[in-house]
Amino acid sequence: MEATPTSSDPYKFLNITLNSDGSLTRHRDFPKLTPTDHSKDIPLNPNNKTFIRLFKPRNIPPPETKLPILVYFHGGGFILYSAASAPFHESCTKMADRLQTMILSVEYRLSPEHRLPAAYDDGVEAISWLRDQARCSGGDCDAWLRDTVDFSKCFVMGSSSGGNIVYGVALRVAEADLSPVKIRGLIMNQAFFGGVEPSGSESRLKDDRICPLTATHLLWSLCLPEGVDRDHVYSNPIKSSGAEEREKMGRFPSTLINGYGGDPLVDRQRDVAEMLKARGVHVETRFDRDGFHACELFDESKARALYDTVEAFMKSCSTTAPSSNM
């Protein structure tokens, strides 16, 4: 990937304009891809214009072999991109094949038009939709899921802001009855967290060519509820989580946290891992010394290494007793 030079103007860096009505004009986006023979779109909430893009492996196993299902949230700092954006569509296609997994990629609402917790709410709605599919029978069920999926082997994964959504959704469904869906594991890839005081990696890499500090500060100002700072619980759960959040964390299933040494957000990711461990969660971490934010979308070797790590984690979680009540 050719890195984009940093800019003192984060709006210019992100190629966005803030309009007078509070909406954004997004001047540059990845191409959006239509579904293929092995993917399809399913409406989630037509009022919110959300949907699910479902991906199945190109080599479906015999009918007696049921596939796990992975709910996926794309990145983009809460303000950019789509489940249909080319890098995320292609990544989900590859993961479905590589992991022999059904992928349920969520098109969630973007900020600032729909500030947090809108994306969390959309994620919960997607999990609820999956639960309803698992409970239904006959012609009302989606055939791909009915005929192919083992609902007791569900995983929830997200990258960057999507990793933050994984955390926020897990809190919200921690006490929900999702049966027969069983969430076996959470996967946070380069999750986007923040805070008022810069972390060590943010200070060291403040002029990063992919994720500079001025840009991440702008992203938080556009996605957090109006009138709060970056120590809000949505961005800085380590500092701002209350007793209720901490109790719910203890119900999380096994969690994989993946990051890279060249990502300014990496110290936040390490801190979240330690926070969850302190609540008794089984946490596995993989932090490469090299690599930059979102590198797996552009570097095939990083993508393969990530898929290998996710595959091993999923197999481990699928062959042991569930570690939570989710």
As a whole number of angstroms, the distance between CA 319 and CA 212 comes to 41
Catalytic residue among 85, 91, 111, 160: 160
Residue 324 three-state SS: coil
**Radius of gyration of the CA atoms of the chain, in A:** 19
3-state secondary structure of 106: strand
The answer to whether 299 is a known catalytic residue is no
Q: How far apart are CA 88 and CA 83, in angstroms?
A: 6
Determine phi and psi for 286, rounding to 5 degrees.
Answer: -140, 105
Q: How far apart are CA 70 and CA 157, in angstroms?
A: 7
The strand order across the sheet containing 183-189 reads 39-45, 50-55, 102-107, 67-73, 149-159, 183-189, 254-260, 283-288
Taking each helix axis from N to C end, the angle separating 161-173 and 118-135, rounded to the nearest 10 degrees, works out to 60
Describe the crossing of helices 300-318 and 86-99 by its angle, rounded to 10 degrees.
50
The secondary structure element, H or E, covering residue 15 is none
Known active-site residue 27: no
- Confirm if 237 and 92 have CB atoms less than 8 A apart: no
Could you confirm whether 8 is annotated as catalytic? Answer: no
- CA–CA separation, 77 and 131 (whole Å): 28
Q: How many CA atoms lie within 13 A of 244 on its CB side?
A: 4
- Let me know: does 86 contact 170? Beta carbons within 8 Å: no
**β 16-18/24-26 pair status:** antiparallel
Q: Judge contact between 119 and 113, C-beta under 8 A.
A: no
Q: Which of 121, 208, 263, 267 is catalytic?
A: 263
The catalytic site residues sit at: 160, 263, 293
